[in-house]
Amino acid sequence: MINLFLNLLIAQALLGAFDTLYHHEFKVALPQKINARLELTIHALRAILYGIVFVGLAWFEWHGHFVWLLIAIVVVEVGLTLWDFVIEDQTRHLPGSERITHTLLAINGGAAFILLALSLPEWYEKQTQLTSVNYGWQSWFLFVAGLGVFVSGLRDGLAAWQLQRLDLKLNLDLGGTHKRILISGGTGFIGSALCYELLHAGHNITLLSRQPIAAAIQYSGKIRAVKSTAELSDDEQFDSVINLAGAPIVGLRWSKSRKATLLASRLNTTRDLLSFVQRASVRPTVWVQASAIGFYGTHTENPVNEMENAGDGFAAELCERWETLTNELEAMGIRRVILRFGLVFGRSGGSLPMMLMSFRFGMGAILGNGNQHMGWIHIEDLLQLIAHVIAAPGVHGKINAVTPDSPTYQQFAKLAGKQLHRPVLLRIPAKPIRLLLGEMASLFVDGPVILPSRLLKMKFRYRFPDLRSAMMDLT
């Protein structure tokens, strides 16, 4: 019986790991969702308790009065799981695969705890102590799983704490109250932060989303979400369109199919928005178009500003095609502003948490020769910039959304190590990175100085103009 119990516990660990990594981290990206704070807190508590159970039962039998402690842990664990079910249904739309996984976890966990309960009367009759046992590979597996789930609990707890600081309340000024705004990409890191700020400022949002039900739940029904602009009538009026939609460019290798996905995620959504604008009775006054500093390529050695032509490589092609698709807007009398984003640094989303993860564990490394430059901007400055270009009727054209401070990766790594009180001893040469990531490696080991010439000319006021001030705020 004990062997079956251990196998069920191992299955619970594997199912839980899949649920956390695939659903919570990859598919849903819970640490980036402001409304997921309570869910992440529940996950953190539950994971820590699971860690205690896995490690405790891997090496010990809980005799005597320790049985009551074990029962209490299991009861709290079950209570947290039931609470989690309720909160999930109130705050987000669960993918079908996640519901199936949760059902399997509940069935498997219930079977495991029933088998455990059959041993408890015998354990209770013995002297109160933790009696050492060794089940061979099963003990070691559960020990490692326990450590892993404990770390996962700490990570979720940190994410929940960070999320409370994402509700920025910047009081964005769009040049008027109660603006009507049509947004694509409003559930990602940047889009979520923007939507919450706009809602807080009292503006009306219509969100174009592939999953409109999930989007509506994410914002507690305070926005209108549509799957296609075909659902919008010709008479509907919007003051602004903000086009942020696009699959993350950092991820799987840029295979032919992956490149097609990245292009389609941007171009198809943009075409959909354009189709509405073309038939609208009253057209919006401004269109804010996302792009990226990848437009300039990564191999130029000289500093570049908004006057430069597109560079070489897939990232440059992607950005150029995305921008070019909106060329007709100005002929339609719509002011177009193209914001070429650098790395957007925030607390729980964007590139910074991923970049800092290795540093937090004392494994931070300098990539390549470390001389590649990083164009970046703090999320608060980016949101203020979006509001500014909407409010300022004289602003149009292309703008590099980066700070004047363009550190090398080596400077970033040293500052990250200093802020986190970790040594930076490792260096990873460019060659293995290129072998592993292919063409995408250029994003990490190459990079020119990107100048925000137009923002400097506009005298845009950065809250975080240099890397040190941003890192002090975000770490």
Residue 224 reports pLDDT greater than 80: yes
171 domain residue, yes or no? no
Q: Which residue has the tokens 């205690």?
A: 52
Section 306-319 average pLDDT = 92
Residue 356 reports pLDDT greater than 70: yes
Query: Do 122 and 74 share a structural domain?
Result: yes
The pLDDT score that the predictor gives to residue 29 is: 77
Report the range of poorest mean pLDDT among 1-5, 194-198, 256-260.
1-5
Q: Which residue has the tokens 């199919």?
A: 257
Tally of domains within the chain? 2
431 domain residue, yes or no? yes
Question: How many Å apart are CA 293 and CA 306, to the nearest integer?
Answer: 10
**With bands split at pLDDT 50, 70 and 90, how would you rate the model's confidence at 165?**
low
**With bands split at pLDDT 50, 70 and 90, how would you rate the model's confidence at 262?**
very high
168 domain residue, yes or no? no
**With bands split at pLDDT 50, 70 and 90, how would you rate the model's confidence at 217?**
confident
Query: Do 234 and 128 share a structural domain?
Result: no
CATH, residue 404: 3.40.50.720
* Phi, psi values for residue 91, rounded to 5°: -115, -15
420 domain residue, yes or no? yes
Query: Do 154 and 203 share a structural domain?
Result: no
Question: How many Å apart are CA 53 and CA 16, to the nearest integer?
Answer: 14
**With bands split at pLDDT 50, 70 and 90, how would you rate the model's confidence at 464?**
very high
Tens of pLDDT, residue by residue over 390-431, are 999 999 999 999 999 999 999 999 999 999 999 998 999 999
The pLDDT score that the predictor gives to residue 166 is: 58
Among residues 135, 163, 191, the one where a domain terminates is 163
The residue segments making up the domain with residue 148 are 2-163
Tens of pLDDT, residue by residue over 72-116, are 999 999 999 999 999 888 788 788 899 999 999 999 999 999 999
The pLDDT score that the predictor gives to residue 131 is: 94
* Residue 345, SS3 per DSSP: strand
Sequential DSSP letters for 302-343: S-B-TTSPP-SSHHHHHHHHHHHTTTHHHHTT-EEEEEEE-E
pLDDT, mean over the chain: 91
Query: Do 232 and 153 share a structural domain?
Result: no
174 domain residue, yes or no? no
Query: Do 386 and 455 share a structural domain?
Result: yes
The pLDDT score that the predictor gives to residue 167 is: 61
The pLDDT score that the predictor gives to residue 188 is: 86
**With bands split at pLDDT 50, 70 and 90, how would you rate the model's confidence at 216?**
confident
404 domain residue, yes or no? yes
Query: Do 185 and 128 share a structural domain?
Result: no
Query: Do 225 and 96 share a structural domain?
Result: no
357 domain residue, yes or no? yes
Q: What is the percent of the chain with per-residue pLDDT over 90, rounded to a whole number?
A: 71
Section 351-356 average pLDDT = 84
pTM of the model: 0.81
Section 322-343 average pLDDT = 94
Report the range of poorest mean pLDDT among 13-27, 57-71, 277-291.
13-27
Query: Do 244 and 117 share a structural domain?
Result: no
Among residues 132, 163, 194, the one where a domain terminates is 163
Among residues 103, 137, 163, the one where a domain terminates is 163
Query: Do 281 and 316 share a structural domain?
Result: yes
Query: Do 209 and 78 share a structural domain?
Result: no
Section 324-346 average pLDDT = 94
**With bands split at pLDDT 50, 70 and 90, how would you rate the model's confidence at 168?**
low
Query: Do 227 and 122 share a structural domain?
Result: no
The pLDDT score that the predictor gives to residue 134 is: 94
The pLDDT score that the predictor gives to residue 263 is: 94
- Which residues are paired to 221 by β-bridges? none
Regarding predicted confidence, which is higher, 278 or 162? 278
Question: How many Å apart are CA 173 and CA 202, to the nearest integer?
Answer: 11
Query: Do 257 and 140 share a structural domain?
Result: no
332 domain residue, yes or no? yes
Closest CA to 451 of 405, 392, 384: 405
Regarding predicted confidence, which is higher, 297 or 339? 339
Residue 475 reports pLDDT greater than 90: no
